[in-house]
Structure 1
Amino acid sequence: MQWTLPNILTLMRLIAAPGVAIIFLILPRPYADWVALILFVTAAITDWLDGYLARLWKQGSRFGAMLDPIADKAMVVIALATLMGLFGFQTLLILPVAAILFREVFVSGLREFLGDTAGTLKVTVLAKWKTTVQMVAIAVLFSYGVFEHHFVMNSLGMSPDIVAQVFAGEIADEFNLVALSGWANRAYFGGLVLLWLAAALTVATGVDYLVKAMPHLREDRHD
């Protein structure tokens, strides 16, 4: 095990994964939303940075190659579980989440079963795009909580009629309610679109890995 900077960044990303969920047990919202968003985005950046540094400094290692996909999966799975807790079991959210989780479990099991021949399931360019889109989608959905809770805090004490008049332009929007509502809507629907795209890429890469693994899964028959 080599304690190079790329490996340390990967390990930090793995440790940060449960922190995205635990922070909601420690801090009230929207502070928890802010910290979770910053923590997740920072961890996502290290996903690119550790690989770049490992290639640049020629510090690739078996430890890093083993830990990197584990850290990626931990970040995505725990973040998705956290989002499910925040948003509830909405159909538009649970379907892509279920597809992503199923693929991750399936491919991990496939790699474990193949053992020494798992090298045939090398990470493809499409799989890298899948991971990127997943992380962007999750970050955007976390940002929804930030906008939504600032909207709630800024409109606290206002009657529904006053809020409606603010949106109608009849009352000055001193607390930026219209802007916060607009950004919340963009984050919610934009995040869902990206998550569905990530789910489609996830399923596509899962099928690709299965096709590549099929020659190693056939039973040998001796007549």
Structure 2
Amino acid sequence: MVTTTILRGSRGTWSLPNLLTYGRVAAVPVVVGCLFYSEIDWMRWVALGVFIAAAITDFLDGYLARALEQQSALGQMLDPIADKLLVAAVLMMLVADHTISSYTLGAAVVILCREILVSGLREFLAELKVPLPVSRIAKWKTTLQLVALGFLIAGSAGDKVLPGTTQIGLALFWLSALLTIYTGWDYLRAGIRHILED
């Protein structure tokens, strides 16, 4: 039988998993700042490097929290917030520099709306003491979304190294949007079921 320990106080606050999450939050303004000058190729590469490092911490922090038995209430709260801050900020900057434009704006809106919907559901169900666990397909969605955003951050600079980089990113972005709709509906259906049963 596995016992999950929720750390409180300074030990939980400064645990390695939480430090990785803080790093992901700190990466947001760096990526945004680099993408503000997205017409400069090397700034896109810096943004991509920081984004990849942040994405890696997204997978590492949860794994390390379980492996080291350093799960904390702060980490459980901050982890999804850090994820959403990173994705939303990158999406806004890619829209601003027209990497994401025209019909692809629809995919960006779908992704942002789903994140808000799931956050609202989690908050509501938490008050009812009902957990809303992350499904396996939702993890695949997140992975695909991060890979797509990586290609799009490289954008025009990436096209000079690997022709079609932006188009690959847009195709993966649309695929992640479709998975976003599926997982969003899955979470909404589960939430509604708990509401009706209450």
TM-score (norm 2): 0.85
1:88 Cα offset (Å): 5.5
Task: After superposition, give the CA deviation of every residue in 1:116-147 in whole Å (9 maximum; x if it has no partner).
Answer: 23643111111111111110000011122323
Structure 2 letter corresponding to 1:209: Y
Q: 1:216 aligns with which of 182, 194, 197?
A: 194
- Aligned partners of 2:114 and 2:16: how far apart in 1? 30
Query: 1:120–1:213: 8 Å Cα contact kept in structure 2?
Result: no
Alignment of 1:106-145 (within 5 A): 106-117=117-128, 119-145=130-156
The answer as to whether partners of 1:103 and 1:206 remain within 8 angstroms in 2 is yes
Structure 1 unaligned segments of length 5 or more: list them.
Answer: 152-179
Unaligned runs of 5+ residues in structure 2 are 1-8
Distance (Å, rounded) in 2 between the aligned partners of 1:210 and 1:137: 25
Contact in 1 for aligned 2:151/2:158 (Cα 8 Å) = no
Q: Is the 8 A contact 1:144 1:184 kept in 2?
A: no
Alignment partner of 1:184 is 2:163: yes
1:215–1:79 distance in 2 versus 1, CA, 3 Å: same
Moved over 6 A (4+): none
Identity of aligned residues (%): 43
- Paired residues in the alignment total 187
Q: CA deviation at 1:26?
A: 6.6
In the TM superposition, residue 61 of structure 1 has moved relative to its aligned partner by: 1.3
Question: Helix, strand or coil for the counterpart of 2:163?
Answer: helix
Letter in 1 for 2:33: I
Question: Who wins on radius of gyration, i.e. which is larger?
Answer: 1
Task: Judge conservation of contact 1:112–1:118 (CA < 8 Å) in 2.
Answer: no
Aligned position for 1:204: 182
Give the TM-score normalised by structure 1. 0.76
What is the Cα-based RMSD across aligned positions, in Å?
2.1
Report the secondary structure of 1:60's partner residue: coil
